Amino acid sequence: MTDTSDMDGFDRKILAALQVDARLSNNELADKIGLSPSQCSRRRARLEETGIITGYHATVDKERAGFGLTSIISVTLSTHNADSADRLAKLFARIPNIQEVNQMTGDMDYYVKVVTPDLKALTKLITEELLAHDAIQNVKTAIVLESLKETSALPL
């Protein structure tokens, strides 16, 4: 199984159920989707081995964990070359407050989603990490007032 064309309805049901609750046992999963526990176990293992399931994660409430401020930062590069992009990717990877990075078309080069405890921590991240990097020319920051929807679940 290397792409979605190799998945059948049961595989999709397994993925959908695990997106809701990744702690489901094979017996519970089997009851939910109508297969035997052994079939569910084999299918889950195959979905993991082929990289369709990439991991299992706990969903943590940001505010209760001390990260009450979410921001979206638009990053514009000063130079566009492979070396700058590689160094910037390494910078993004080492900053734990960065939750998401997308390379974009249009006016900005990257869209960066960041969580911080407060405005002071956000300011420090921008000035000491992002603006200090020689490949970054400009950043524009928008503070999220309220998240109306936030999910990583796919519409299976």
Per-residue pLDDT of the chain (156 residues; tens, 9 = 90+): 455 568 999 999 999 999 999 999 999 999 999 999 999 999 999 999 999 999 999 999 999 999 999 999 999 999 888 898 899 999 999 999 999 999 999 999 999 999 999 999 999 999 999 999 999 999 999 999 999 999 989 999
Residue of 120, 156, 150 whose CA lies nearest to 13: 156
92 within 8 A of 98, measured Cβ to Cβ: yes
Pairing of strands 110-116, 98-103: antiparallel
- pTM of structure: 0.85
- For residue 84, give every residue at least 6 positions away whose Cβ sits within 8 Å of its Cβ, in sequence order, or none: 77, 78, 135
- Whole-number pLDDT of residue 116: 98
State residue 80's pLDDT score. 86
Helical pair 26-33 and 9-20, crossing angle rounded to 10 deg: 120
